[in-house]
Structure 1
Amino acid sequence: MARRRMVYEGKAKILYEGPEPGTLIQFFKDDTTAGNGEKHELIDGKGVLNNRLSEHFMEGLASIGVPTHFIKRLNMREQLVRAVEMIPLEVVVRNVAAGSMSKRLGLEEGAPLPRPIIEFYLKNDDLGDPIVSEEHIIAFGWASQQDLDDMVSLGLRVNDFMSGMMRGVGIRLVDFKIEIGRVFEGDFQRLVVADEISPDSCRLWDIETGQKLDKDVFRRDLGNLADAYTEVARRLGVMPRSNGSNTGPKLVH
């Protein structure tokens, strides 16, 4: 088998050249980081879980007309995606005060927000992914005003879909991050949800108990991260419920 050419390696994923022009293979690693990479561990099976969960969310979004880069899952750790021109911003949608918002604004963690709030962060590890305003984004050419309007629309649509899906299985969607890319079709450009949507990029709390089912488990040393992600997958029907034996993640095909 010919060795694939690596296009990019990030903290949690590797992108390889795809089998057809305009495609990439996205590989999910078990690497888990926090604090801009200062805390790092390998958590067995995390990549498998995130691959399957991201597929589940991306397919759900596509079913309601939200465009994404996802094409299909290839195996337990890889999926085929469209190559896109990534906008160098993280789009964060917040429903509940938590994380950096609580610290910046002095809000009690867990306080409901009056409406979903969208924030933009510049993707730059060296700077710690700083929060930026729409004025910064337009002035420095990271995105146009039309791009921003489209990103806000995409973020709110993803929020509506994900909030409803999670509420249905007893999970509160506190906040989440998406990344967005440009797809060019002749002279026409459109924006699509890219990268991944998984518990790595969301805050998920059990509605009844407040138990954290996301990467805060790792950030704050609250327990076993793989168990938390597996619980999310089981509730969503992505993985079967355990019969009591712990044999690691099993996928539903």
Structure 2
Amino acid sequence: MEKRNELYRGKAKSVYTTDDPDRLVLLFRNDTSAFDGKKIEQLDRKGMVNNRFNAFIMQKLEEAGIPTQFDALLSDNECLVKKLDMIPVECVVRNFAAGSLVKRLGVEEGMALTPPTFELFLKDDAKGDPFINQSHVVTFGWATAEQLARMQELTLKINDILKGLFDDAGLLLVDFKLEFGLFNGEIVLGDEFSPDGCRLWDKETRKKMDKDRFRQGLGGVIEAYEEVAQRLGVPLS
């Protein structure tokens, strides 16, 4: 597979075309950003850890019957993926109260949410990724009602699969965001799953093991990512 031109440069990843029109290369960079790109730093090893972490999770999900865009690891910081027509909506599941939910509703951080909440956000940094509802998604044509129902179904299935996986590693899957796209007309999980896009706490101590360490200036960001990978059995070399 021949990597060709940079198609898109995001906050932490670059996307390249290949000689196959249906395949892209994702390059995971060491850039780390928060607050819609207002805080940016380079963290050594981050691209490698997130690339390998994402590959591990995507393969676990595929084994459980979830369609994903992931095809293969190419190198420490690159993987081959299917080219999706991305839907500009983030699906968020919360198993415990944290982050914007705490600010929005004034609930206590760490409160268990039963059943988990399912939320939608418009993927638009310039607007601050605003909170939206299902009616907005359909009315503005970001996805059809059927596509949205499938996205919700897959998101909740993924939550069930990953909650067990992280629980076995002594971690609480607090919340996470997913993005989906269309491949041959089918809804497929896209983007990445890494500690950049979820909240993970140690089950016993509630120590934060995710990007909140960066957002909140707690330090030890990559060390926490590597510890999570190690507990899950992600091969980092």
Match of 1:235 among 207, 213, 231: 231
Residue 244 (structure 1) aligns with = none
Work out whether 1:206 is the aligned partner of 2:202.
Answer: yes
Residue 28 (structure 1) aligns with = 28
Amino acid at match of 2:228: V
Given that 1:61 and 1:161 are in contact with CA atoms closer than 8 Å, whether structure 2 keeps it comes out as yes
Matches within 5 A, 1:75-224: 75-184=75-184, 189-224=185-220
Gaps of 5+ in 2: none
Q: Secondary structure at the match of 1:74?
A: strand
Residue 245 (structure 1) aligns with = none
Gaps of 5+ in 1: 240-249
Residue 70 (structure 1) aligns with = 70
Q: Distance in 2 between matches of 1:21 and 1:144?
A: 25
Given that 1:18 and 1:80 are in contact with CA atoms closer than 8 Å, whether structure 2 keeps it comes out as no
Q: Secondary structure at the match of 2:208?
A: coil
Given that 2:14 and 2:29 are in contact with CA atoms closer than 8 Å, whether structure 1 keeps it comes out as yes
1:205, distance to aligned residue in structure 2 (A): 0.2
Q: Secondary structure at the match of 2:75?
A: coil
Amino acid at match of 1:99: G
Q: Distance in 1 between matches of 2:114 and 2:23?
A: 40
Amino acid at match of 2:173: L
Q: Distance in 1 between matches of 2:148 and 2:117?
A: 14
Q: Paired residues, what number?
A: 236
Q: Secondary structure at the match of 1:208?
A: coil
TM-score scaled to structure 1, two decimals?
0.91
1:3, distance to aligned residue in structure 2 (A): 7.5
Q: Distance in 1 between matches of 2:93 and 2:153?
A: 11
Q: 1:147 to 1:6 in 2, by over 3 A?
A: same
1:21, distance to aligned residue in structure 2 (A): 2.2
Q: Deviations over 1:129-178 (max 9, x none)?
A: 00101111111111111011101101001101110000001000000011
Given that 2:3 and 2:16 are in contact with CA atoms closer than 8 Å, whether structure 1 keeps it comes out as no
Q: Distance in 1 between matches of 2:65 and 2:18?
A: 25
Residue 243 (structure 1) aligns with = none
Q: Distance in 2 between matches of 1:3 and 1:86?
A: 21
Amino acid at match of 1:79: C
Q: Distance in 1 between matches of 2:224 and 2:98?
A: 18
The ranges of structure 1 where at least 4 consecutive aligned residues each deviate by more than 4 angstroms after the TM superposition are none
Q: Secondary structure at the match of 1:90?
A: strand
Q: Distance in 1 between matches of 2:141 and 2:3?
A: 37
Q: Secondary structure at the match of 1:180?
A: strand
Q: 1:138 to 1:231 in 2, by over 3 A?
A: same
Q: Deviations over 1:82-102 (max 9, x none)?
A: 001000011111110000001
Q: Secondary structure at the match of 2:65?
A: coil
TM-score scaled to structure 2, two decimals?
0.98
1:4, distance to aligned residue in structure 2 (A): 2.4
Q: Distance in 1 between matches of 2:3 and 2:111?
A: 50
Aligned Cα RMSD in Å? 1.0
1:104, distance to aligned residue in structure 2 (A): 0.2
Given that 1:48 and 1:76 are in contact with CA atoms closer than 8 Å, whether structure 2 keeps it comes out as yes
